[in-house]
Structure 1
Amino acid sequence: MMPSEGMKMPKKKKAKVEGSGGEGSGSGHVDEEFVRSIRKIKYIQTELQKINVEEDDKVLEVLQEYTEIRREFYNRRNEVLLTIADFWLTVLINHPILGEFLSAEDRKILRYLVSLDVEEDPKLGFSITFNFSPNPYFENKKLTKTFSFPNLPTAIVTGTTINWKEGLVSAELSNYKWTGGEVIMHCSNPCFSQCFNHNANKSAHEAGQETGSHKSL
């Protein structure tokens, strides 16, 4: 039914429309609140990040402190291990992964391994040092392998150059490669000694591009 000329629309309904300020006005109000909330969240997040950095620094201090405390016990333990014949050779032979890389020549060399030292830096990486007694194979008393991670996930791997005694390095052994935690299978008999090949001083990324045939160690 059409309203008569004298009939007017209810003012209440008209006031509701005017009070909304239109769709655009309401949206603008919501956007301002949203922006303010985001800014507050960002500020809080920045403060949290500062706390996280502070926490990391304190955790690092504690780790370094207890590393020094443990060092005395490691040294005492090593003294006892020296009384056990071929201890480290036995450990490495029976390791589920490392054992398969030990050649007959490696086993002869590892009879002179007297201790292993591991140094960790939570921010930079870690290093493993193999300490040897005087032996007929090389002049080094220590062989160190270092893994650093300045730009994750790329690792930079460096190793001590072995000073082999004259006449003890075969052409096959000289071609062994160790790169980025991966043993490159260029040789029919890969061995432990390749860990310290002169090609070790490369990034893991560079090493991975050299060959598609490798086995993780």
Structure 2
Amino acid sequence: MSSLIFAATDTTSTAMARVLNLLAQHPDVQDRLRQEIIEAKRQLDERNLSFEELNALPYLDAVCRETLRLFPPVSTVFRVARQDTALPLHKSITGLNGTEIHQVMVPKGTIVFLSIFNANRNPELWGKDSEEWKPERWLSPLSPEVVNARIPGVYSHLMTFIGGGRSCIGFKFAELEMKVVISTLVERFKFSPSTKELEICWQMNNITTPIIGGNDHPQLPINISLVD
């Protein structure tokens, strides 16, 4: 139950909170996304979008992918080596004695920390604008650097949902959940930054959450109004 509550609920909710916060800061992106949703429903006589139709919306997909790339709900994970192994390096490094190092030995029982946050932002793969939120980057084919990097994640050449035998088993459901909620809200409501002068801090615990000041209770002040 703890896994279902924290891993399957809090991660998705904080990802959706991040999307709404970004849309509030980028009204042009919000307007474009709303127009895509409204136009898709208009072509379908205003009925609700099916699973396939929702997944076929390119800009909604781009907004979700870019948010999960730049702001993964879980920024760091750790693994314990179950046997002696050697980790090959993507790029060799030079040791203090001048020796070129191509791999790192990892003895059994070693705790290995993995920064999902930095893996998803590697400028050598994503370019000089890797720190910028740009949904448009997903509307054209990804660069050869990204495709050929062989990032072992199960989602979009990213480590957001990890990879291998311990990857997130519910990542497709989480993605669908995000799209359903975001498309429903954006179609009917406009989001804008809070008029109160409050600094939002995204606390990077096990699951990244927005807080205000020294209050550790998750909260995200944002203005909401009906679409005209």
**Structure with the largest fraction of helix:** 1
TM-score, length of structure 1 as denominator length: 0.19
Which one has a bigger Cα radius of gyration?
1
Relative contact order: is structure 1 or structure 2 higher (C-alpha 8 Å, sep ≥ 6)? 2
TM-score, length of structure 2 as denominator length: 0.19
